[in-house]
Structure 1
């Protein structure tokens, strides 16, 4: 029922409160009463709009990950150049995480304390992202932009880990990557430079940061 009610203030209040609470306490640590109080709504409305706490949680996880999935489709349409696709993906990921600051803790909770959403949603989307990066690296190797002696699996995992390390550190209290404004952008720009230095073929152009 929720899909047709996203323009209702009550629904958005529930979603906003639930994202914060679930990211801080996980699914099991949050009660329906607590959700309702945080959203300032009647307890019955959570079941009415979402079908209960578990379905509300599933909706939030799926919605948060769906944003990145849509952006991957946009990146595919924007360029066929594999190195440019990687750059666009990295900076798009930074923008999405800045707009959705609670997505990091939600996903890390699923990794370490998986719910039913892990197999059904999180794992599927993680594999989709992995396949996207794997495809970019393979295409870059085939075109001669990346070294042909790369271990594709290691190159993909390294890139995936590099991107998400900056988001992970934001989940740790009193931890900063660097004493700069826009530290996420600064970090990924430096990290991409280091990564490309390791995988690029001699003389291959790296391209510029996407505007």
Structure 2
């Protein structure tokens, strides 16, 4: 049960985030959320009216958490290699602090793809415009392999998210507890950064 000193609406949203992350939209009831928030269902319905409305609020917040930091990185006026390393660090920190966020967003993508397409628009435009422009300039200067921004973005996202998505399998296969899994992830992020940057920047240009 959450701390009763917090404003009721905040307690409901925190409880909803916890339950939706664990059970998803379809597996969650308003009674589940009310129980975790330490309130009755009538009070919860007074604040949010419906499970759908509450879920939309949580989903929007989580997408903001997922994408807004990336947007700031993409828009930053720093060298490309430094930007890619910063994107990797940001994404890893976000996943470490919110390990269920990818599955949560993916589940909603399958349930309601239109909702995510509305929220991802600003990130998509920045990848296709400013980040692609910076990569094109580096390709023209011969300092980076000939790639497009979408592939760089996917290399970062896929490599960082996979350990968290597959955490139960990794823990079972390699006999990891929470501490050893966290250590593994810290080591893995260093390899990801070295691998991606080596592939992109340390290559032999075609003659």
- The TM-score normalised by the length of structure 2 is 0.74
Q: Counterparts of 1:83 and 1:131 in 2: how far apart (Å)?
A: 17
The number of equivalent residue pairs is 194
The CA deviation string for residues 62-110 of structure 1, in whole angstroms up to 9 with x for no partner, is 1012123332343256433122111111111111222223313312322
Deviation of 1:190 (Å): 0.2
> RMSD across aligned C-alpha pairs, in angstroms?
3.3
Structure with greater proportional helix content: 2
1:194 and 2:195 correspond: yes
Q: Counterparts of 1:172 and 1:43 in 2: how far apart (Å)?
A: 36
1:119 and 2:120 correspond: no
Q: Which residue of 1 aligns with 2:95?
A: 97
Deviation of 1:203 (Å): 8.2
Segments of 5+ residues of structure 2 without an aligned counterpart are none
Deviation of 1:57 (Å): 0.8
Deviation of 1:54 (Å): 0.6
The CA deviation string for residues 170-202 of structure 1, in whole angstroms up to 9 with x for no partner, is 365735788464433321220121122222244
Q: Which residue of 2 aligns with 1:37?
A: 35
Segments of 5+ residues of structure 1 without an aligned counterpart are 1-6, 205-211
- The TM-score normalised by the length of structure 1 is 0.73
Q: Which residue of 1 aligns with 2:53?
A: 55
Q: Which one of the candidate residues 23, 26, 37 is aligned to 2:24?
A: 26
